[in-house]
Amino acid sequence: MDRNLGILVAALLLVASTCESAIFNPVSESHRSAASELLSSADGSFGSLEETYEALKTFEVLGIEKKPDIRTSACVSAVKILSSTSSALKDLFHALRVNGVLKCELNDQAFPGIGSKLKDSLNGASSLLDFYYSIGGLILIKDQTSEVDVHISDADRIFRSIKALSQSDGRWRLNSNNPESSNDAAGIALEALSGVISLASSEIDSSLIATLKNDISKLFDGVEKY
């Protein structure tokens, strides 16, 4: 599994490298100051956990030490979502991301229930985002606790289900009912597939990896045209 995961990680890094030309200078204090001002929050929140996570990661990447105190409000929201049995997959995913950064005071007993829900959701998932949030959530749980078995026993089936949304040019669709494909969806798919490989309880079928490598090559060919 490690070798196959390495293939996808390398592919993701190559995609990221296409943006390197946009980076010209190191981050300066003026950049940090501007970011702090733009990301300032008067009421101690950012409206959603997705926005909260992006703000937290921005502070981290830019090395901003003086940042707004959003821990209390963010953790209250994250713990509420993670403790509820009716939370949507997207909300669980972003709550887990925030919890991974802030280390909120979450009852460890919540993780097994979340893990079971995310695994169950993979059985009925049909859209790319459903797979992405479920698999991504399991990866986040794996990083936050060792008390939950997040391994996937039917990884080949899930891999094929995600692969079924790919197009001949290497791009992906968000679901089978949407004829439009995009490079953005391809990035989501590649990240989800790398997660499947990481969580698989046994080696992924080598023919699936070979087919995916061909898709990645086609995707790069399309990116190079731009």
Is 22 a domain residue?
no
Tokens of 179: 């004829």
Residue 203 lies in a domain: yes
The reply to whether 165 falls in a domain is: yes
How many structural domains are present in the chain? Answer: 1
Each residue's pLDDT, cut to its tens digit, for the chain (226 residues) gives: 444 544 444 454 444 444 444 444 566 666 666 666 656 655 556 778 999 999 888 888 877 776 667 888 999 999 999 999 999 999 999 999 999 999 999 988 899 999 999 999 999 999 999 999 999 999 999 999 999 999 999 999 999 999 999 998 889 999 999 889 999 999 999 999 999 999 999 999 999 999 888 888 888 877 666 5
Number of continuous H segments (helices) and E segments (strands) in the chain: 10, 2
Residue 40: which domain range?
2-13+28-224
- Residue 118 forms part of a structural domain: yes
Q: What's the pLDDT score for residue 19?
A: 47
Residue 178 lies in a domain: yes
On whether residue 23 sits in a domain, the answer given is no
List the beta strands (DSSP E) in 149-208.
Answer: 172-173, 181-182
Q: Report if residue 21 sits inside a domain.
A: no
